[in-house]
Structure 1
Amino acid sequence: MPGSLTDRLASLRGWRADGAACLAGALSALALPPIHVVPVLLATVPTLLCLIRGARGPLVAARRGWWFGFGLYLIGLYWITEAILFEAARFWWLVPIAVPGLAAVLAAFIVVPAALARYARPGWPAAVVLAGGWVLADLARQFVATGFPWNPLGSVWELPGYPGDVMIQAASLVGVHGLTLATILLAAAPLYGWIGRAGALLALLLWCGFGVARLQQPLPKAPDLTVMLIQGDVPQGQKWDSALMVSIFRRYLDLTHQAVARADGHPVVVVWPETASPAQLQTDDRARQLISEAADGAPVLAGSVRFDQDDRPRNSLFAIGAGGVIEGIYDKWHLVPFGEYQPDWLPIGIQVVPGGGFARGPGPRTLHIPGLPPVGVLICYEAIFPSQVIDPADRPDWMVNVTNDAWFGNSTGPRQHLAAARLRAVEEGLPLLRAANTGISAAFDSRGHELARLGMQQMGILPVRLPGALPPPLYARAGLWLPFGAGILAVIAGFLAGKTRRHIKSGSIRRK
């Protein structure tokens, strides 16, 4: 960035500085899936760093970081309003405040990184501190209040097609949090000197080279299995209509019968989306029998609600075998706050989720189903949690993600959700197959390459030959400790760089 422009940004005060930070954050959302205007970060991240440099102290820098985060999350999460509109009769009052309120909370995670960067020397040291602090904040965002790690900046590289395949391969080493750190450092390059810019360009070329080389390596032999992903395309407004439940169930049975007929006798497994079955599969023997008959005895993985021994509902996936036998059950454990459960920290007397909502499952689990390779299950929201999607002590051969994105309409929400699932495939080195109620259903191999998809608001069957699994990549073995360590080291390195520079200058003055 030209010196005059950086100086003007740094000189802004009061609401002008806050407004510039908010606008920069909002523009940064254009880099996120599915828009992917990644070059915009070359303007917005330097703008944030200039505003931090011009702040009169760390508290002012923190406020400007908050405004940047508010703009970023306000635009990036606008689609949440779509879900509220389905319950507008009960929650109409939430429509104008839900997304701004959530954006305000998430923006608080940018406060500390911005304040820390104010203490660092301007230029690349401040960028390194900001990047490291941002990664640590995103890790906190994954756990605080059960977590909401939606739209990490590292997801901007989940571009369509081959360019995206190349850029996301580095997630196998450092995960999406590591990509976030690299993204901020690269985006801040306009503030570096020519040596720093050359280094950033070299790093980007090495990143691309690693991606190209990894994609050229052959995948392991695939098992002889075809996965039939069923997309029923049931609008959210009809999903729990008691008058339509029989017709919805029949729709899934018909699609299952057609899918198995296509297999022509080859091994097959059928996957229904999240809560696709309106029947209670836990207790409805007849419903399970009808599913087995429609599948001609082939295994079916079907989403359904069940009730535990305490009569609490659970969002589950059932493995239905020949004769309607239940071969396995997986219970969702990462529940959506205010959607599937009521957080304990809400004041007593405020009832948002009737009865407290769903009960949590025990955590990631591998299902061992006769005739199938071991499978790790992710139900909807669980796909956005890096390094928390499989049981590392019982590593599966593939992952299946069932979801109901009908809540989000035809917005950016389902597409951002799909991008997160693609990154999980790269991080774990496992193929991921996704069945979504209204779309997007898709299949990714163990390097995140898209094999097939069925678009939004279509009813149909997506047959996919199950790809082979890779050995656990570095990130799958190290987990979140790797980006945590990288974030800590980046903050320390940024501060030490400033001290080293000051010591060198002090020595030069004394010699003179």
Structure 2
Amino acid sequence: MADRDRPAAEGRLHRLADRIGGLGVRARLGLAALAGGLSTAALPPADAWPLGFVAFTLLLLLLDGVRGRLWPGFWTGWAFGLGQFAAGLYWIGVAFFVDAAAFGALAVPSVLGLSAGLAIFTGLAGMAQARAAPKGAGRVLFLAVAWVAAEWLRGHLLTGFPWNLAGASVLAVPALAQGAAIVGTYGMGLLAVAVFAAPALLLVREPGDRRPAAMTGGLILVVLAGVGLWGALRLEAHPTVMVPGVKLRLVQAAIDQKEKWRGGMKAQHLRTHLDLTRGPGFDTITDVIWPETAVGYYPQQEAEVREVLARAVPPGGLLITGAPRVEWTPPPAGAPAGTEPQPRVFNSVMAIDDRARIVGVYDKAHLVPFGEYVPLREFNPFPKLTAGSIDFTPGPGPATLALPGLPPASPLICYEAIFPGEVTAGAAPMVRPGFLLNVTNDGWFGLTAGPHQHFASARLRSIEEGLPLVRAANNGISAIVDPLGRIIALLELDRRGVLDGPLPAALPPTLYARLGDASAALAGLIVLALAFLPGGLGRRIRQRRN
């Protein structure tokens, strides 16, 4: 009975695939956008990875229906991306309501405009799939390569925005997530997309295509199981080891973003951080970490502010805090008499000792467009969302900050933690840090998915680099994470308090830390070569049968 029912079931699946591939333009684009929205649910914080199978299988079937047609392929991929980014980045609109009178009306247009722009990259992936993908089983592997290549471009072109990468879906399975130590999050995206699109392998018509489909599916399962097994062994082989003699206090003041820069409240916010810092257990702490721009003053120029900050420093320890920094640029030669020096303002991290001395400074390099600067300001009428009219100046890039009494740190301010391969100055012994230090203020985005996505991305950087993560966030999520991505301590979103905990020790540099995205590129080339093997194998099988 089962054997007699099998052809009927296959026939229904084939007819369903034909209907999906044969949809008209509006229905195809609408379904693609819906599938894109579903794909976001496979990522943190929802981690509803079964929906990834639905989303990417639908995308592949829709692209099968426009095979050989460049622009229909582009628009299908673009519609998928529009749905994905609109669903995954909706929280950006919340930031516009911090000053609703000035920016609230721009919230929806900005989210949709950003989504439409980012969807160009998924459109390119769709175009490549429609034009160049092999027939048969290999098209599943080709889609994985095209998708990740588009993600890499999205992460690097213009300012780069590698948010919600497909590889982030593996974080739901800690053993699988360890693969990021070898090929990074981009490389794990190859596996994620291949797995999610694999149900399309069931839709095989010709007998000669069944063996290549089975082989491709088997290969995907073997790689999936192999990565998972290796990851489980890695987790077991590396229990968390702590740096001796270090106990951190992370302060999460949970200051409402609408109040943060309100005139006359800087002193109150500083007192809030100081009171939390010196609360119960302060005498057991060696070092204190405050979040991004926790200090609203300019400590380098204001000695009295440094004296106040020194009260937050344990004896012999450090206070590491986010604070603005200003430099004054002298007038250029030949400038008219009376020309005033021009300020350059930086979003910085400063380390202050118990004698009120600044012993380390890092300036943020990856600035947020329209948040910290206005692109093409001379042509752009839109102001930035943050306080003040002066654009921030970018720093030189990743740096290793020597900290007395602590391992050297790689500071990451706000979304600098989302860029794979760009979170340290390198893996060489002289520059490799002992931990990633992420200070951020996600209070802009309220109780949405945004802060959770941000934290998930930062955890992936720990696994990629083999470095622990210390993360202090104004409104959460503050956490201490070991170099395999395991959470040691965590303070949830929208909670005021402190998080006390040890500092995990670093592991030796991972393969990804040494090679960066070259390891993902090599994996992509291998997958691309394998994508074109099943078609040739299928042809040989059919010729042999004939």
Confirm or deny that 1:343 pairs with 2:336.
no
Distance in 1 between residues matched to 2:215 and 2:525, nearest whole Å: 24
Name the SS for the 1:32 alignment partner.
coil
Distance in 1 between residues matched to 2:405 and 2:533, nearest whole Å: 57
In structure 2, relative to structure 1, the CA distance for the partners of 1:502 and 1:473 (3 Å cut) is same
Q: Verify the 8 A CA contact 2:134 2:142 in the aligned structure 1.
A: no
Instruction: Give deviations 1:266-310, integer Å, cap 9, x for gaps.
Output: 6x1100000001221111111111221232432100100111233
Q: How far off its partner does 1:497 sit?
A: 4.8
Q: How far off its partner does 1:194 sit?
A: 3.5
Distance in 1 between residues matched to 2:382 and 2:58, nearest whole Å: 42
Instruction: Give deviations 1:321-376, integer Å, cap 9, x for gaps.
Output: 121000010000011111111223x6725243365611000001111122221111
Q: Verify the 8 A CA contact 2:251 2:497 in the aligned structure 1.
A: yes
Distance in 2 between residues matched to 1:402 and 1:427, nearest whole Å: 19
Distance in 2 between residues matched to 1:259 and 1:483, nearest whole Å: 47
**Rg (Cα) greater in structure:** 2
Instruction: Give deviations 1:83-109, integer Å, cap 9, x for gaps.
Output: 011122222331221111111111110
In structure 2, relative to structure 1, the CA distance for the partners of 1:508 and 1:435 (3 Å cut) is same
For residue 157 of structure 1, the aligned residue among 136, 160, 170 is 170
Q: Verify the 8 A CA contact 2:99 2:258 in the aligned structure 1.
A: no
Instruction: Give deviations 1:172-209, integer Å, cap 9, x for gaps.
Output: 11111011110011111112234433333332222221
Instruction: Give deviations 1:39-74, integer Å, cap 9, x for gaps.
Output: 111111111111111115122111101111111111
Distance in 1 between residues matched to 2:263 and 2:446, nearest whole Å: 22
Distance in 1 between residues matched to 2:413 and 2:64, nearest whole Å: 43
Partner of 1:417: 454
- Equivalent position amino acid for 1:92 in 2: G
Instruction: Give deviations 1:486-510, integer Å, cap 9, x for gaps.
Output: 3344345434654x3586379659x
Name the stretch that deviates more: 222-231 or 66-75: 222-231
- Equivalent position amino acid for 1:332 in 2: K
Q: How far off its partner does 1:257 sit?
A: 1.7
Partner of 1:74: 86
Q: Verify the 8 A CA contact 2:440 2:474 in the aligned structure 1.
A: yes
Q: Verify the 8 A CA contact 1:269 1:300 in the aligned structure 2.
A: yes
- Equivalent position amino acid for 1:289 in 2: E
Partner of 1:122: 135
Q: How does 1:272-311 map to 2 (within 5 A)?
A: 272-297=290-315, 298-310=317-329, 311=343
Distance in 2 between residues matched to 1:259 and 1:122, nearest whole Å: 66
Partner of 1:217: 237
Distance in 1 between residues matched to 2:244 and 2:487, nearest whole Å: 18
Q: How does 1:372-387 map to 2 (within 5 A)?
A: 372-387=406-421
For residue 229 of structure 1, the aligned residue among 234, 250, 262 is 250
Name the SS for the 1:146 alignment partner.
coil
For residue 65 of structure 1, the aligned residue among 77, 81, 98 is 77
Stretches of structure 2 that go unaligned for 5 or more consecutive residues are 1-9, 202-212, 330-342
Partner of 2:259: 238
Stretches of structure 1 that go unaligned for 5 or more consecutive residues are none
Distance in 2 between residues matched to 1:417 and 1:145, nearest whole Å: 20
- Equivalent position amino acid for 2:256 in 1: P
Partner of 1:187: 196
Name the SS for the 1:367 alignment partner.
coil
- Equivalent position amino acid for 1:50 in 2: L
Name the SS for the 2:120 alignment partner.
helix
Confirm or deny that 1:406 pairs with 2:443.
yes
Confirm or deny that 1:322 pairs with 2:359.
no
Name the stretch that deviates more: 52-61 or 334-343: 52-61
Distance in 1 between residues matched to 2:244 and 2:314, nearest whole Å: 21
Distance in 2 between residues matched to 1:194 and 1:294, nearest whole Å: 63
Name the stretch that deviates more: 112-121 or 41-50: 112-121
Distance in 2 between residues matched to 1:250 and 1:422, nearest whole Å: 31
Name the SS for the 1:417 alignment partner.
helix
Give the TM-score, by structure 1 length. 0.93
Name the SS for the 1:222 alignment partner.
strand
For residue 58 of structure 2, the aligned residue among 47, 52, 66 is 47
Q: How far off its partner does 1:313 sit?
A: 1.2
Distance in 2 between residues matched to 1:507 and 1:124, nearest whole Å: 18
- Equivalent position amino acid for 2:322 in 1: G
Distance in 2 between residues matched to 1:33 and 1:247, nearest whole Å: 35
- Equivalent position amino acid for 2:467 in 1: L
Identity of aligned residues (%): 38
Partner of 1:474: 511
Q: Verify the 8 A CA contact 1:113 1:129 in the aligned structure 2.
A: no
Distance in 1 between residues matched to 2:98 and 2:43, nearest whole Å: 25
